[in-house]
Structure 1
Amino acid sequence: MEKLTVTRLMEIMRECAGEGEGLAVTDDVLDVEFGDLGYDSLAMLETAGRIERDHGIRLADDQVTEAKTPRAFLALVHDAATGVA
């Protein structure tokens, strides 16, 4: 899989859960909590399901809901893609 970028992550989130109420999609959102961007845990689980369907990367639900920022979520995806535990 090509490395998932914050821009692509936010696009997937908008496709799955609608437009967030927070900041514009830039690298500046990497450390902004999803709640502040207008996304809840259900939106994150839907996003994880989409990533699994499209890229074959399975993320544990508890890890997904514990990832509070795009940076943390992207780290989960990258670790899962490379087999890092």
Structure 2
Amino acid sequence: MPETRFTVEDLKRILREGAGADQSVDLDGDILDTEFEELGYESLALLETGSRIEREYGITLEDSTLTDARTPRELIEVVNSHLSTAQVA
């Protein structure tokens, strides 16, 4: 079974689909270490993003995981950690 990885491109797609994109923010730039708040995504938008990730990737994320992840890089790492655990099980 090939390993499933969650990428920054996956995150950008889900952010746009779920919460849209602030016209003043360039999601196509280097956003990995930019805080979600600076990107225009508040906690409610991140909870929606988390729900979409859970449905699409078949994992469960704690609400605190979503609010503790301050940047896309942090969220991607958490999602990939969950994916790795799910694939081993």
TM-score bracket, shorter-length normalisation: 0.7 to 0.9
Match of 2:26 among 18, 23, 28: 23
Q: Partners in 1 of 2:25 and 2:68 — Cα distance?
A: 19
TM-score by length of structure 2 reads 0.84
- Calculate the aligned-residue CA RMSD, in Å: 1.6
- Higher RCO (Cα < 8 Å, 6 or more apart): 2
Shift of 1:10: 1.0
Q: How many residues in Structure 1 have an aligned counterpart in Structure 2?
A: 83
- SS of corresponding position for 1:35: coil
**Greater fraction helix:** 1
In the alignment, structure 2 segments of 5+ residues that lack a partner are none
Structure 1 stretches of at least 4 aligned residues deviating more than 6 Å after TM superposition: none
Q: Which residue of 2 aligns with 1:81?
A: 83
Q: Partners in 1 of 2:56 and 2:7 — Cα distance?
A: 15
1:1-85 matches, within 5 Å, as 2-20=4-22, 21-26=24-29, 28-83=30-85
In the alignment, structure 1 segments of 5+ residues that lack a partner are none
Higher Cα Rg, which structure = 2
Q: Partners in 1 of 2:25 and 2:71 — Cα distance?
A: 13
The alignment-based identity, stated in percent, is: 43
TM-score by length of structure 1 reads 0.88
Q: Say if 1:29 and 1:52 are closer, same or farther in 2 by CA, change over 3 A.
A: same
